[in-house]
């Protein structure tokens, strides 16, 4: 089966080309700022819902906040794993030099 027929391959390809030329992925600080704004908006929307002004709970905003939290958690864990891998050769060299 050719790679282009593979659903996983196509989804990964789409995620890699998510941003157009000249456009970069937002930094983690930008994403955290956006998350704070969305959480603030979610709190307001739930207040409106519980006060009876809205008949529909804000599940779309809640889903967006949950997705962003998961995405940020994955990005941060990948970054931390990368830093640990960068430190590993230095610590091994220090350990080997000490013996």
Domain regions of the chain by residue span:
27-98
Percent above pLDDT 70 for the chain: 72
State in Å, rounded, how far the first CA of the chain is from the last one. 52
Which residues in 1-99 belong to E strands, given as ranges?
none
d(CA 70, CA 77): 11
- Count Cα neighbours of 62 within 13 Å in the Cβ-side half-sphere: 8
Tokens for 13, please give them.
């390809």
Residues 43-64 have a mean pLDDT of 93
pTM over 0.85: no
pLDDT class of 72 with cuts at 50, 70, 90: confident
């Amino acid at each position: 089966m050719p790679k282009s027929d593979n659903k996983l391959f196509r989804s990964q390809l789409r995620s890699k080309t998510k941003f157009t030329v000249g456009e970069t992925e937002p930094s983690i600080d930008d994403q955290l700022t956006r998350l704070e704004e969305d959480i603030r908006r979610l709190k307001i929307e739930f207040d409106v819902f519980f006060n009876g002004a809205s008949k529909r709970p804000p599940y779309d905003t809640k889903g967006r906040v949950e997705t962003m939290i998961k995405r940020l958690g994955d990005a941060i864990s990948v970054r931390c794993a990368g830093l640990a891998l960068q430190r590993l050769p230095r610590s091994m060299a220090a350990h080997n030099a000490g013996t």
